[in-house]
Amino acid sequence: MDAAILAKVDAWLSGNFDAATKDEIRKLQAEKPDELADAFYRNLEFGTGGLRGLMGVGTNRMNKYTVGMATQGYANYLRQCFPGGVSVAIAHDSRNNSRFFAETTANVFAANGIKVYLFEALRPTPELSYAIRTLKCQGGVVCTASHNPKEYNGYKAYWDDGSQLVPPHDKNVIAEVEKIHSADEVKWSGGEENIHLIGKDMDEQYMEMVKGLSVYPEIIEKHKDLKIVYTPIHGTGIVLVPPVLERFGFRNVHIVKEQSVPDGNFPTVVYPNPEESEAMSYGLKQAEAMDADILCGTDPDADRLAIGVKDSHGKWVLMNGNQTAVLAFNYLIEARKSKGIAGPDDMVITTIVTTPMIDAIAAANQVACYRVLTGFKWIAEMIRVKEGKENYIIGGEESFGLMIGDKIRDKDGISAVALLCEMAAYEKEKGRSLFEKMVDLYVQYGFYKENLISITKKGMDGQQQIAAMMEAYRNNPPKTINGSAVVKLLDYELRKGSDPRTGESWPIDLPKSNVLQFELEDGSLISARPSGTEPKIKFYFSVKGRLDKPADFDRVNAEMDTKIKAIIADMNL
């Protein structure tokens, strides 16, 4: 074993670590030395969003000590920024050890003289964002690994506006965390009087806020028996989604029993991710059996939403994240106009890898549409920039996330479920389904179709292979893709756009991000985006076609699929 790894292992065996931790290290030494090496070969990185990793002993794992050290660094930074006093809110999801990590985090903050509002039990991530703003906290933490497998947990850090950390705070917090070299530098206890439990009162305020997002309560009243199937996939959504739907006025909500109980082992799924059809299979089966109007599912911390609907042939299908976003954006834009509450300063926000169809809808309705980097923290940052000048309506991205209204600053699966169910009721009033509405929008604005592929390069040189791939695209970009000329090359790392045909270039007014985009003459858009934490690169494809009438949907849809496959083949992916 590498000498540096051995030194770390010895430091934990001889240091102030609990007996159970030392016993587990010795067991790994004897039985699984490779696993031990992986647990100690590096420090679990505190990235721009916080921590995420496998649970277990070691510097490269989520455990009491790595969580405590991260919290000490974050506490030090908060106290520097807010010398007049600091308060934080803390929540957690249903994952194994999430409560323990939340309590550990609370104890460290409290020992540093920080006032802590700790949720009494599991709660959705969006409620944490809402609580930070409502309680006027300076920061916050939610312990969750979102939709990762059961072996993982995580730690997301928030700022005083309820959003995840953005510059300069993200890098500054990382610097403070990296200064904590030993668990002995952590203040583990001594401030218990600074911890205050919160729960039902905050739930009530949050649910009233969500109810205020309803646009057509009179339509819900007419369709209160809309058949809704909902699955929390063993997560926190069960706490708030059913009461929020009841508050909206829906009286025919059916919970998927097999997935209704919070359980960090996620016994019915491999990945507790509503993007995966496997995770939604129980819900799809139940929706089909009872001939439901809509199926909704949320991930373990209830910030992501997926919906299932019947297609034009009566078959149950899952809408992708882009389609769900288009439906939600269009609904709020149309509804605000219809109700007479649309304003000239209304704006919506999406991301650089989300469907351009949103831009087309916004432009046709004279609503400003801004594109930001991937991640809801950048949507929140744009709201902050435009606050007092423009009126934020909705934000969203292709990864099954929506943020409706400005009372929270992170994606919110709870309000998204409520809004999508209201939309289903609204369309039912007009005699059509959400799927039929989506097809009608394709006829009206053009048929945009998206796809995503993710390529993993395993081994120690995986990251280098991906870096080389990006460098090749940068230094020698294709002039054509699938027979269509590249008319724009957008390099977000260099913050520069260019036209390869003319050599013309222009600045991109967004923070640096390692993303490349190729815009083609035929309206297609291809994006390449490496992961910052895994040896993985994602390619996003968006193609555009024309749909003259709903009856042509199947044919044009197949043509679009063929076009995306041809682009992928031409790029040798």
Question: According to the model, what pLDDT value does residue 532 have?
Answer: 67
Do residues 391 and 402 both lie within one domain? Answer: yes
Please count the structural domains in the chain.
4
Do residues 190 and 319 both lie within one domain? Answer: no
- 123 has pLDDT over 90: yes
Q: pLDDT confidence of 459, banded at 50, 70, 90?
A: low
Active site residues: 146
Do residues 452 and 436 both lie within one domain? Answer: no
Give the span between the Cα atoms of 395 and 323, in whole angstroms: 14
Do residues 283 and 388 both lie within one domain? Answer: yes
Instruction: Write down the residue that tokens 């312990």 correspond to.
Output: 143
Q: Which of 144, 179, 198 is the last residue of a domain?
A: 198
Do residues 243 and 325 both lie within one domain? Answer: yes
Q: Which residues are CB-neighbours of 200 under 8 A, at least 6 positions away? A: none
Length of the chain: 573
Q: Which residues are CB-neighbours of 255 under 8 A, at least 6 positions away? A: 230, 231, 232, 238, 242
Is 238 in contact with 124 (CB distance < 8 Å)?
no
For residue 121, the 8-state DSSP code is S
Do residues 436 and 511 both lie within one domain? Answer: no
Do residues 137 and 253 both lie within one domain? Answer: no
The CATH number linked to 65 is: 3.40.120.10
Instruction: Write down the residue that tokens 């003289």 correspond to.
Output: 113
The CATH number linked to 471 is: 3.30.310
Instruction: Write down the residue that tokens 């288009």 correspond to.
Output: 326
Do residues 355 and 434 both lie within one domain? Answer: yes
Mean confidence (pLDDT) of the chain = 96
Do residues 469 and 483 both lie within one domain? Answer: yes
Q: What is the dihedral of CA 171, 176, 177, 181, to 10 degrees?
A: 140
Do residues 171 and 113 both lie within one domain? Answer: yes
Give the span between the Cα atoms of 351 and 395, in whole angstroms: 9
For 403-454, write each residue's pLDDT tens digit: 999 999 999 999 999 999 999 999 999 999 999 999 999 999 999 999 999 9
Is 518 in contact with 436 (CB distance < 8 Å)?
no
For 229-271, write each residue's pLDDT tens digit: 999 999 999 999 999 999 999 999 999 999 999 999 999 999 9
Q: pLDDT confidence of 38, banded at 50, 70, 90?
A: very high
Q: Which of 445, 478, 506 is the last residue of a domain?
A: 445
Domain residue limits at 546: 447-570
- Determine the distance from the C-alpha atom of residue 263 to the mean position of all C-alpha atoms in its chain, rounded to a whole number: 21
Crossing angle of the two packed helices 3-14 and 33-40, in degrees rounded to 10: 90
Q: Which of 445, 472, 502 is the last residue of a domain?
A: 445
Crossing angle of the two packed helices 3-14 and 19-31, in degrees rounded to 10: 150
One-letter amino acid at 42 equals R
Residue 351 in tokens: 């991301």
Do residues 64 and 161 both lie within one domain? Answer: yes
Q: Is the peptide bond before 550 cis (omega within 30 degrees of 0)?
A: no
Do residues 438 and 473 both lie within one domain? Answer: no
Mean pLDDT of the region 351-365: 97
Is 210 in contact with 115 (CB distance < 8 Å)?
no
